[in-house]
């Protein structure tokens, strides 16, 4: 897998001046538990050997050219899966049993900020969930210029014993809390093997994910008209073989939400089991692959640039706090050897400040009708971490403000016609680790 720095360079340094993104598009996602536990540990009850089954899974993933695939239980047959898949962007395996989490992503989209997180709570009450470091992965998927969607792949605790139920609820809550801390203001996708069902009274975690983080369950939307099954009701189990419709409930789920910037909507839900069968029409895994079709569009008054720098520090995003029709009164850049801080003061009186207190402060007060139209950033490594070293902002009248020190890695972005820079998003600490710009009409 490409390093985080390489990913940023691939996005940024090849284009000294970047154009605005398209305003809308479509994509799909696939969630699939590929049953990659070693045959000796778990046969899953399906016909065919696992190496052959995995080979067909990889071929089918390529044939149908899914936009974004999350796989679970991708353990000891990972090399075979990747040998027969052709997606251009794929995560590196974390290892087979007992070393890896079994979570991987195959994608037509690039991403930044990839990370793996182990569950804080696990249970061996009825399954060997503590045998491997199960948990979730996070990545910020780049759908288009300045259009990012946070994507989480998860595999929660299995089983229905008391210990399993407690662990699984804690798992989903851990994901919800992660989103609350790291995805403020962002569109989000969460999909994978939740091992949860709405009909189980004890499986409250998936309902919490919906209520706490404003997520929509695609199956509930398309199969249930937005109304989940009642807790404690009879299980809506899918039949053996290929489901004839989507009314049955699986533990493999897809949740999503849009943002103030991105309208994100699911347009169709499918169990893609029929696409993943052996030559004699046998199942390849004991889970029904779940496919969701999505449409996205940018809101009329907001845009973003790409992000530049490195995946370090604490996430921030001015987007949720912007008032309607924001206008910048002044902007301050702090820097010395590197870019220490960025802050905007709006005419409404709101101030957005990010970074530390080091360096020298340079402030530019905008005149009436003047907007910030262009931004230049330069980045490099410091203490083995990539961060921004320099920023320069230019207004519609040609005035500039700058701070920090230029490097060999620089990019310039220009606000779309009729838009101006009014805020920022990215990651910060004592300095500006990662930085992107928010445009408003």
Residues 274 and 346 in one domain: no
Q: Which of 313, 358, 296, 383 is nearest to 25 (CA)?
A: 296
* pLDDT value of position 45: 62
Residue where a domain stops, chosen among 237, 266, 298: 298
Residues 185 and 290 in one domain: yes
d(CA 23, CA 172): 33
Task: Look up residue 283 and give its DSSP letter.
Answer: B
Task: Identify the residue whose tokens are 């101006």.
Answer: 420
Is position 16 within any domain? Answer: no
* pLDDT value of position 441: 93
Give me the domain span that covers residue 371: 302-440
Q: Name the domain count of the chain.
A: 2
d(CA 29, CA 141): 12
Instruction: Identify whether the C-beta of residue 309 lies closer than 8 Å to the C-beta of residue 387.
Output: yes
pLDDT under 70: residue ranges of the chain: 1-21, 40-47
For the record, the structure tokens of 243 come out as 């489901």
Q: For residue 149, give the H/E element and its range.
A: strand 147-155
d(CA 347, CA 351): 9
Is position 385 within any domain? Answer: yes
Is position 406 within any domain? Answer: yes
Residues 279 and 361 in one domain: no
Residues 224 and 153 in one domain: yes
d(CA 437, CA 426): 9
Instruction: Identify whether the C-beta of residue 153 lies closer than 8 Å to the C-beta of residue 70.
Output: yes
3-state secondary structure of 438: strand
3-state secondary structure of 189: strand
d(CA 293, CA 29): 7
Residues 359 and 236 in one domain: no
Residues 257 and 323 in one domain: no
* pLDDT value of position 8: 42
d(CA 139, CA 105): 10
* pLDDT value of position 128: 86
Contacts of 71 (CB under 8 A, 6+ apart): 32, 33, 34, 81, 102, 103, 104, 105, 106, 153
Residue where a domain stops, chosen among 298, 314, 347: 298
Q: What share of the chain is helix, strand, coil (3-state, %, to 5)?
A: 15, 40, 45
Is position 13 within any domain? Answer: no
* pLDDT value of position 5: 41
Instruction: Identify whether the C-beta of residue 24 lies closer than 8 Å to the C-beta of residue 297.
Output: yes
Encode 147-181: b = buried (16+ Cβ within 10 Å), e = exposed: bbbbbbbbbbbbbeeebbbebbbbbbbbbbebbee
Q: At what angle do helices 205-213 and 162-182 cross, to 10 degrees?
A: 20
How many CB atoms within 10 Å of residue 360?
A: 11
Q: Which of 230, 438, 225, 224 is nearest to 331 (CA)?
A: 438
* pLDDT value of position 7: 41
Contacts of 249 (CB under 8 A, 6+ apart): 197, 198, 199, 219, 229, 235, 236, 237, 238
Is position 19 within any domain? Answer: no
Residues 257 and 229 in one domain: yes
d(CA 391, CA 335): 9
Is position 54 within any domain? Answer: yes
Residues shown for the chain: 441
Residue where a domain stops, chosen among 275, 298, 321: 298
Is position 384 within any domain? Answer: yes
Task: Identify the residue whose tokens are 């002044």.
Answer: 330
* pLDDT value of position 418: 95
d(CA 207, CA 197): 10
What average pLDDT does the chain have?
Answer: 93
Instruction: Identify whether the C-beta of residue 374 lies closer than 8 Å to the C-beta of residue 412.
Output: yes
Identify the CATH number of the domain in which residue 103 sits.
Answer: 3.60.10.10
Cα distances from 318 to residues 137, 138, 216, 312, 404, in angstroms, run 25, 21, 24, 18, 22
Identify the CATH number of the domain in which residue 415 sits.
Answer: 2.100.10.30
* pLDDT value of position 38: 85
């Amino acid at each position: 897998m490409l390093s985080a720095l390489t990913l940023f360079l691939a996005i940024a340094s090849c284009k000294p001046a970047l154009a605005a993104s398209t305003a809308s598009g479509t994509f799909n996602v696939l969630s699939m538990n590929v049953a990659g536990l070693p045959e000796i540990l778990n046969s899953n009850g399906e016909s065919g050997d696992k190496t052959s089954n995995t080979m067909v899974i990889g071929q089918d993933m390529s044939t149908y050219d899914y936009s974004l695939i999350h796989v679970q239980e991708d353990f000891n047959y990972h090399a075979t899966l990747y040998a027969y898949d052709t997606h251009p962007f794929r995560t590196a395996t974390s290892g087979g049993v007992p070393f890896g989490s079994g979570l991987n992503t195959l994608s037509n989209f690039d991403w930044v900020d990839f990370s793996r997180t182990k569950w804080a709570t696990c249970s061996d009450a009825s399954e060997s969930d503590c045998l491997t470091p199960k948990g979730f992965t996070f990545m910020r998927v780049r759908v288009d210029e300045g259009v990012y969607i946070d994507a989480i792949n998860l595999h929660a605790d299995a089983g229905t014993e008391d210990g399993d139920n407690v662990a699984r609820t804690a798992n989903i809550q851990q994901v919800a809390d992660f989103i609350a801390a790291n995805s403020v203001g962002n569109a989000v996708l969460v999909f994978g093997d939740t091992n949860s069902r709405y009909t189980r009274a004890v499986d409250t975690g998936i309902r919490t994910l919906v209520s706490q983080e404003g997520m929509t369950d695609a199956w509930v939307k398309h199969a249930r008209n937005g109304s989940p099954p009642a807790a404690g009701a009879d299980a809506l189990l899918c039949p053996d073989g290929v489901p004839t419709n989507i009314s049955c409930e699986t533990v493999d789920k897809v949740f999503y939400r849009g943002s103030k910037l991105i309208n994100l909507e699911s347009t169709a839900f499918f169990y893609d089991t029929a696409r993943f069968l052996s030559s004699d029409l046998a199942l390849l895994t004991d889970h029904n692959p779940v496919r969701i079709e999505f449409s996205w569009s940018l809101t009329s008054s907001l845009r973003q640039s790409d992000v530049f720098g490195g995946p370090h520090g604490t996430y921030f995003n001015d987007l949720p706090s912007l008032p309607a029709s924001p206008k910048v009164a002044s902007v301050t850049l702090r820097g010395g050897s590197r870019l220490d801080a960025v802050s905007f003061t709006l005419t409404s009186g709101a101030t957005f400040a990010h970074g530390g207190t080091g360096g020298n402060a340079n402030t530019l007060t905008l005149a009436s009708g003047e907007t910030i139209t262009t931004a230049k950033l330069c980045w490099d490594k410091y203490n083995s971490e990539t961060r921004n070293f320099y920023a320069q902002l230019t207004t519609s009248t040609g005035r500039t403000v700058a701070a920090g020190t230029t490097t060999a890695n620089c990019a310039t972005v220009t606000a779309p016609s009729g838009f101006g820079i009014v805020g920022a998003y990215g990651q910060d600490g004592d300095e500006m680790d990662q930085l992107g710009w928010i445009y408003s009409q």
